[in-house]
Every structure is written in C-alpha cells, then in structure tokens.
C-alpha cells in the first residue's frame, strides 16, 4: 500500500504595527477604541478602509491589501479575537463592532423580500455566536453585529450606536504554502 502525505505549512505574515495575527496567514486585526456608528459618514465601516492606503501597500511590498470591519468564520477565530480583545480592553466588558449586518434581498419579479445576515467583506456568514439575549430573531435592516469583548458572544445592535470597532486587514502576498 502506497500512502501519500501532503503537509501544509502555515507561514504567519508579519502584520502591520498595532495589529494582531488572525488564524490565516495574511489576516491581521486592528482594534480601534475610538467610538463610531457602524456605517455612514465617519462610521467604523469606512474607517477600516483607511488601513490600506496605496503608500502602505507599496512601502510594505504587499501585493494587495483589503480592510473591512472584521468577519469571524469559525469558533477558533472567535476565541482568538476574544482573547486579544480582553487584553486590549483590560478585561473590561464592552461591545465592539464587527462587520455583520442585515441586508434585504428582494425579488423584483415576485416582490417578495427576505433578510439575511452578511459580512461587510462579502465572506460567507455561516458561523454565529449569539448571546442568549443578543438577538431576538427579527431581521431588522438597522441592526449590525457587535461582539462582547469579554465573553465573545454576539449582539444585534442598532447601527447608529457608537462603539469601538475591530477591522480585519487582509494582506495579499502571504499564502499557505504546500510542501
């Protein structure tokens, strides 16, 4: 019997100063304690885009850089983010904006609409970690996702509320390498 073994080596990327490494090479998180609404002028969503100016990409020799409010794809990533937020907030419980939001999708032929949770970076919204009192199940397009910095559970909060926020910066020249 011939057995082939393929090993994947995780090569962590050097994250920019003031950020922490995510669970994937090239993923870095930036916590901003400046309070802002989720969207709109001066909102957290737009502020995250400022982490990838063209000069920074050229200076760091990155092939690409994308930033948005953070998406969380699985329990391990949620645990990592919570651990780092605890340190960054001195173990003080506070709500911090993530990139989750409710979007209404309407079929123009039938006129029927449905609402779904989405991530602002367009990644799939499969993993969820709602607090027992975090979401009432109603799909309200004025709601966005915030994480409790101490417990790691999520809350659906009106997007005009001003909170600290967490950005995910994806740097594109670092990838998983197969050997």
CA distances from 63 to 7, 26, 178 (A): 25, 11, 20
Instruction: Look at residue 92 in the predicted model and tell me its pLDDT.
Output: 92
Measure the CA angle with vertex 122, ends 19 and 75; round to 5°: 60
pLDDT bracket for residue 104 (50, 70, 90): confident
Q: What is the mean pLDDT of residues 59-76?
A: 79
User: pTM score > 0.85 for this model?
Assistant: no
Q: What is the DSSP string of 57-118?
A: HHHTT-S-EEEEE----SHHHHHHHHHHHHHHTTT---EEEEEEEEEEEE-TTT--EEEEEE
CATH of the domain at 141: 3.10.100.10
Residue 2 lies in a domain: no
Q: Which residues contact 158 (CB under 8 A, 6 or more apart)?
A: 142, 143, 144
Measure the CA angle with vertex 124, ends 81 and 89; round to 5°: 15
Pairing of strands 95-106, 113-119: antiparallel
Residue 98 lies in a domain: yes
Residue 77 lies in a domain: yes
pLDDT (tens digit per residue) in 120-177: 999 999 999 999 988 887 778 889 999 999 999 999 999 999 999 999 998 765 444 3
Residue 94 lies in a domain: yes
Q: Residue 66 pLDDT > 90, yes or no?
A: no
- Of 117, 83, 100, 104, the closest CA to residue 44 belongs to 100
Instruction: Look at residue 90 in the predicted model and tell me its pLDDT.
Output: 93
Residue 13 lies in a domain: yes
- The percent of residues above 90 in pLDDT, for the chain, comes to 53
Instruction: Look at residue 122 in the predicted model and tell me its pLDDT.
Output: 92
- Number of structural domains the chain divides into: 1
In which domain, by residue range, is 102 found?
Answer: 8-173
Residue 179 lies in a domain: no
Residue 178 lies in a domain: no
Distance (Å, whole) CA 96 – CA 152? 10
Instruction: Look at residue 109 in the predicted model and tell me its pLDDT.
Output: 87
pLDDT bracket for residue 29 (50, 70, 90): very high
Residue 117 lies in a domain: yes
Helix, strand or coil for residue 46?
Answer: helix
């Amino acid at each position: 019997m011939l057995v082939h073994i393929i090993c994947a080596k995780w090569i962590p990327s050097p994250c920019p100063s003031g950020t922490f490494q995510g669970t994937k090479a090239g993923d870095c998180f930036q916590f901003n304690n400046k309070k802002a609404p989720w969207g709109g002028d001066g909102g957290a969503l737009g502020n995250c885009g400022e982490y990838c100016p063209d000069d920074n990409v050229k200076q760091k020799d990155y092939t690409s850089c994308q930033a948005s409010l953070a998406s969380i794809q699985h329990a391990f990533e949620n645990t990592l983010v919570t651990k780092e937020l605890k340190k960054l907030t001195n173990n003080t419980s506070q709500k911090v904006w993530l990139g989750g939001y409710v979007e209404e999708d309407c079929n123009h032929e039938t006129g029927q609409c449905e609402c779904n949770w989405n991530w602002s970076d367009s990644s799939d919204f499969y993993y969820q970690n709602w607090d027992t009192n975090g979401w009432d199940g109603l799909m309200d397009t004025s709601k966005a996702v915030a994480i409790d910095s101490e417990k790691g559970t999520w809350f659906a909060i009106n997007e005009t509320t001003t909170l600290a926020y967490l950005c995910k910066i994806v740097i594109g020249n670092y990838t998983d390498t197969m050997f």
